[in-house]
Amino acid sequence: MAKIKVLDTEISVVQDEYISLTDIANSKDGESRAADIIKNWMRNRGTLEFIGTWEQIHNPNFKVVEFDHFRMQAGLTSFVLSPGKWIETTNAIGIVVKSGRYGGTYAHKDIAFEFATAINPIFKLYLIKEFQRLKEEEQKQLGWDIKRNLTKINYRIHTDAIKENLIPKQLVPAQISYVYASEADILNVALFGMTAKQWSEANPTLKGNIRDYADVYQLVCLANLESLNAHFINENISQEQRIKKLNELAIKQMSILVSDSNMKKLESK
């Protein structure tokens, strides 16, 4: 669930691209019955053609025969069509009805924008703008999560190598914990020049750990170092030799990364 504000009206967005038709209808001046507004819009022949075509493009399970039945009735004064009836009869997926706290009628953005056109074309323009802004913010957050998770995944590979090659059998938990912490700090020292403890002592007011404050260049380099260290461990290279090799590689890789134009683009995202 996300919220965007369009001309002082809060619009709910769910499942990434489904926008609340109920909230859009409530933005219409002088109208208080969103359900009736949506029903009146759906009984229109043009609307039926649009949402029916959308379903045929995106929904392989759409019931075209039932859709044709509705289309033939469109325009008749006796014809009434609710979102629930449309979904149940045609197996539609472009419009959904939700109950509960965030209940209401929602539609895929393609359909929601078409509905907004019928409500208020100006409102539609602002709706598109705010929806695009929401997607851009989500992409920025996704980019950060991918970079952070890349480090976590490689760290798992790294710790698995430690467990398989460095930890003697039947060690007590305290001993196992000490070996893991020591190996993690090899990477910290090679790249950051200090252990996690030294960083925490030097930054008592900051929350998190040294890696949470790494920049894009350091995160990419750290991901590479973790994979290399796992390989060195599998090759039975001593800890003293590994930290020397990793430091040399960190210096070389960081020198390359900071001058890479593609990395500069990644940093700006």
What are 176-221's pLDDT values in tens digits? 333 445 677 778 878 887 778 888 889 888 888 888 888 777 788 8
For the chain, the average pLDDT equals 78
Residues 6+ apart with CB under 8 A from 154: 222, 223, 226, 227, 230
Alpha-carbon gap, residue 209 to 197, rounded angstroms: 9
Which backbone phi and psi does 222 adopt, to 5 degrees?
-60, -40
Which backbone phi and psi does 268 adopt, to 5 degrees?
-80, -10
* Residue range 144-183, pLDDT digits in tens: 556 666 666 566 555 555 444 433 233 234 423 334 456 7
Instruction: Single out the residue of 120, 121, 124, 115 nearest to residue 50, CA to CA.
Output: 115
Alpha-carbon gap, residue 243 to 144, rounded angstroms: 28
Cβ pair 55, 67 in contact under 8 A:
yes
Which pTM was predicted?
0.52
Whether residue 24 has pLDDT greater than 60: yes
Whether residue 54 has pLDDT greater than 90: yes
| Domains in the chain: boundaries | 2-119, 138-268
What pLDDT does 93 receive? 93
If pLDDT is split at 50, 70 and 90, which confidence band does 90 have? Answer: very high
What pLDDT does 141 receive? 66
Phi-psi region of 162 (alpha: psi -120 to 50; beta: other; left: phi over 0): alpha
